[in-house]
Amino acid sequence: MITDDRTDRAWTPAADRYTATDYRRAGRSGLLLPPISLGLWQNFGADRPLATPRAILRRAFDLGVTHIDLANNYGPPYGAAETTFGAVLASDLRPYRDELLISTKAGYDMWPGPYGDGGSRKYLVASLDQSLRRTGLDYVDVFYSHRRDPDTPLEETMGALDAVVRAGKALYVGISNYSPADTARAAELLAELGTPLTMHQPRYSIFDRHVEAGVLDAAATAGAGVAVFSPLAQGRLTDRYLNGVPEGSRATRSAYLSTDDVTEDLVARARALDEIAGARGQTLAQLALRWVLRDPRVTTAIIGASSVAQLEANMQALSGPDLTAEEVAAVEPWAAPSGSTL
């Protein structure tokens, strides 16, 4: 049973949820996204009581976060984040389905055998069907090819994306982790099929600027919006690691971040950036979010959240002023060089 202080009474979202958010257009599409979106990559698996993600999702919607980002293998275990979202959709969000933009992805390892990974039509269509069952949705708003599969012709992968739109299982399609050249070719193929490329989802942060070496330009040329993930560099652009690696932090327990990733150089850079943030009256995380959102090619920054308090603190990034040219210049010595990753 869900243990939540509002479990036993009906939940109604905040009436003013759309008054404080300036939504951004995704490329040349008709789609509008909030500047900060909620990703369920981590903290929404079966290893946590449902009350916590339920509270986070409710509060996000109260704050105007209409975009929820998923993938088939988000968990743990694989599929669990979609199941968690499905439970909250059933208990709270179903009446507001048409106010939500739900995305999911397929491309990485998901189930055993030759059809549970990659970019084949067989895998992508089957995976989306599974995602719809786990979430309880009739369709997703955006379906992504999560990675470029070098062993599958791009024509087949893009053909599968076109097929799920025509089948009514997705409204828009996107790609994630694609190179500039593959982005351009994917957009060309989709245009020929009559299903435009709407979104690109790459990694981007002050410490990882590889997308500045062509990905952002390729997406803009294609008319696609950009939803960046890991804008806080897996927590390294927060106050979490300013004094080393605390016990129980993500770097000590995550498959995606290790203590080796929290180097003395990165800690020194984070401390310098924290001083810049403090001078703005913001936290390091809030500065990092404003930094990625400074680029007009970026539609939204996808953040995770382990608590309502963390979500609210990161959403405060939108309350601060835009970065000035002087502040952008001050960040530069501590950031990765443009086009590269620290």
Q: Average pLDDT for residues 121-147, to the nearest whole number?
A: 98
CA gap 56, 305 in Å, rounded? 7
CA gap 331, 284 in Å, rounded? 11
Q: What is the pLDDT of residues 150-159, one digit of tens each?
A: 999 999 999 9
Q: pLDDT at position 256, please?
A: 59
Q: Which helix (H) or strand (E) holds 105?
A: strand 101-106
Query: pLDDT category, 4, cuts 50, 70, 90?
Result: very low
Identify any residues that bridge with 258 across adjacent strands, giving them in sequence order. none
CA gap 103, 71 in Å, rounded? 8
Q: What is the pLDDT of residues 157-172, one digit of tens each?
A: 999 999 999 999 999 9
pTM across the whole model? 0.93
4 within some domain: no
Q: What are phi and psi of 3, to 5 degrees?
A: -105, 100
Percentages helix, strand, coil for the chain (3-state, rounded to 5) are: 45, 15, 45
Q: What is the pLDDT of residues 35-50, one digit of tens each?
A: 999 999 999 999 999 9
275 within some domain: no
Q: pLDDT at position 261, please?
A: 77
Q: pLDDT at position 10, please?
A: 82
For the chain, the domain total comes to 1
List all residues 6 or more positions away from 4 whose beta carbon is below 8 Å from its beta carbon: 51, 54, 55
Domain that holds residue 105: 26-236+285-325
147-156, 170-179, 205-214, 250-259: segment of lowest average pLDDT: 250-259
pLDDT at residue 257 tops 90: no
pLDDT at residue 33 tops 50: yes
129 within some domain: yes
Q: What is the CA 45 to chain-centroid distance, rounded?
A: 16
4-8, 269-273, 301-305, 326-330: segment of lowest average pLDDT: 4-8
Query: pLDDT category, 59, cuts 50, 70, 90?
Result: very high
Query: pLDDT category, 9, cuts 50, 70, 90?
Result: low
Q: Which residue has the higher pLDDT, 129 or 263?
A: 129
The CATH number of the domain where 45 resides is what? 3.20.20.100
Q: pLDDT at position 248, please?
A: 56
pLDDT at residue 8 tops 50: no
Q: pLDDT at position 253, please?
A: 54
41 within some domain: yes
Q: pLDDT at position 260, please?
A: 74
Q: What is the pLDDT of residues 184-194, one digit of tens each?
A: 999 999 999 99
254 within some domain: no
Q: pLDDT at position 6, please?
A: 42
330 within some domain: no
CA gap 71, 135 in Å, rounded? 11
Q: What average pLDDT is seen over the chain?
A: 94
217 within some domain: yes
Q: What is the pLDDT of residues 286-330, one digit of tens each?
A: 999 999 999 999 999 999 999 999 999 999 999 988 999 999 999
262 within some domain: no
Q: pLDDT at position 241, please?
A: 85
